[in-house]
Structure 1
Amino acid sequence: MALPGRAARLARVSDPAIMLHQLEHPPHAVLRVNGIAATTSRVTVAEIILRERRYAAVSVLDSALNQGLLTAECLATIPVLIRGRRGAVAARGYLTEADGRAQSPLETRARLRCVDGRVPPDALQLEIRDDDGYLLGIGDLGWRGARLIAEADGRDAHASPAAVFADRRRQNRLVNAGWTVLRFTWSDTLQPDYIPQTVRQALAAARSR
């Protein structure tokens, strides 16, 4: 709970199972959403990244940027906002890894696994076109020199029959154009080595061609 001024000191929770953390924010940092007091997007994101671990924190930052809830200029002001707070050192590192091109937490997690495995993509949302300029597909993560892309297959976006058929047709177009396509799921991101090892093998195969 984070309320402005005296309201923060008056708030109480009777349930002993709930631990209440109270912060006092200036009035301009609080707005009302459907009649409920809430902190602004910038303040909310700042509080989250102070408390969450890296993958969750960077996912929140990416999502806020992607949805237009934060701008790059807003992001640049967060270090001042969190200065001296517990967790601020780690949070400043998370800010440097934020990228609003990620369209889902799964894409963020897959990218961070690649970064940690020293095979970072050199492009996100990579548009692949044929010689006539026709768009063959867009890769979530891309390694342009190796003509390699990786797709982050979220369950909701890719589970319907229509989505499965569209994904197959798109993959066929990309493969026929000389691109290698890797596909990763949420469970793959839970294994630290799997994604970078798979990418590394594909990069090695590309170099040997």
Structure 2
Amino acid sequence: MLGSAEPEEAVSLMDAALRSGRLDRLDVARAAAAGRPGCRRAEPWWSRADGRSESALETRARLVLVDGGLLPEQLQWLVRDESGVPVARVDLAYPSRRVAVEADGVRFHVGAGGNRGASGVAWTRDGVDPVFRDRRRQNALARLDWKIVRVTWFDVVDQPLEVIANVRGALSSRPA
């Protein structure tokens, strides 16, 4: 299976299996795959798996950044305000520089599981449009002097060099 997949697809599958609990140890799966067709080609992919990624988009964004020499310091990082109150959990983070990368997926932002009101806005079960929720979070992060780089599927698949440049630019504009 992994031998025929592209690296990004294979790592996304590994991440999903780890996150869901269907796979708790990569070394066991890796040993089971040994000797199978495509095993050698897939060898470098095992070390790239991380069950903290919550979507294929987050995995692909992380892989783009790693390939660009920008390994995120944290995944699913909880940002707290000065009083220790949680403000946001960001997808990919460089806390030492206060830079967050947010992977904006269509399914979440179009209101998966939500309803559309008369205005055409997607409302989730908690009654808040995901786009509005993201804007509130982004404003809260900005108050704490965090810089946010937003990426989409199109960005990471069709414009990875731009993603790398945007994150590199955000990191270079922040004191270490």
TM-score band, normalised by the shorter chain?
Answer: 0.7 to 0.9
Is 1:183 aligned with 2:150?
Answer: yes
Q: 1:61 Cα shift? A: 0.4
Task: Name the SS of the counterpart of 1:136 in structure 2.
Answer: strand
> TM-score of the superposition, structure 1-length normalised?
0.73
Task: State the match for 2:53 in structure 1.
Answer: 102
Whole-Å separation in 1 of the counterparts to 2:52 and 2:160: 22
Q: 5+ residue gaps in structure 1?
A: 1-47
Which residues in structure 2 correspond to 1:82-93 (within 5 Å)?
82-93=33-44
Which residues in structure 2 correspond to 1:1-209 (within 5 Å)?
48-72=1-25, 75-160=26-111, 161=121, 162-190=129-157, 191-207=159-175
Larger radius of gyration: 1
Letter paired with 2:139: N
**Aligned residues: percent identity?**
39
Q: 1:77 Cα shift? A: 1.5
Q: 5+ residue gaps in structure 2?
A: 112-120, 122-128
Whole-Å separation in 2 of the counterparts to 1:165 and 1:192: 27
Q: 1:159 Cα shift? A: 2.4
Task: Name the SS of the counterpart of 2:97 in structure 1.
Answer: coil
Q: 1:181 Cα shift? A: 0.8
Q: 1:131 Cα shift? A: 1.9
Structure 1 vs Structure 2 CA RMSD = 1.3
> TM-score of the superposition, structure 2-length normalised?
0.86
Q: 1:106 Cα shift? A: 0.1
Q: 1:173 Cα shift? A: 0.3
Whole-Å separation in 2 of the counterparts to 1:67 and 1:81: 19
Q: Which has the higher contact order (CA 8 A, sep 6+)?
A: 2
